[in-house]
Amino acid sequence: MRQLIGELISEAVAMLIIIAFGDAVACMYVLYDPSPYQHAYWGVCIAWGLAVTIAIYATGSVSGTHANPAVTLALALFRGFEWKKVLPYWLAQVVGAFVGAAIVYVLFGPVIDHYNDHVVHMSREAGGAAGVFFTHPGDSITPMHALLDQVILTAFLLFGIFAITEQYNEMAPKANSGALMIGLLVATIGASMGYLEAWAINPARDFGPRLFAYFAGWGRSALPSPDNYWWVPIVGPLLGGIVGAGAYQGLIRPFLPARLREAAGQTSSD
CATH of the domain at 45: 1.20.1080.10
Q: What pLDDT does 270 receive?
A: 56
Q: How does the average pLDDT of the chain come out, rounded?
A: 96
Residue 102 falls inside a structural domain: yes
Residue 265 falls inside a structural domain: no
Residue 57 falls inside a structural domain: yes
Number of folded domains in the chain? 1
Residue 177 falls inside a structural domain: yes
Residue 262 falls inside a structural domain: no
Q: What pLDDT does 174 receive?
A: 82
3-state secondary structure of 226: helix
225 pLDDT more than 70: yes
Which tens digit of pLDDT belongs to each residue from 144-173?
999 999 999 999 999 999 999 999 999 999
Residue 269 falls inside a structural domain: no
The residue segments making up the domain with residue 166 are: 2-254
233 pLDDT more than 90: yes
Cα separation, 45 vs 38, whole angstroms: 12
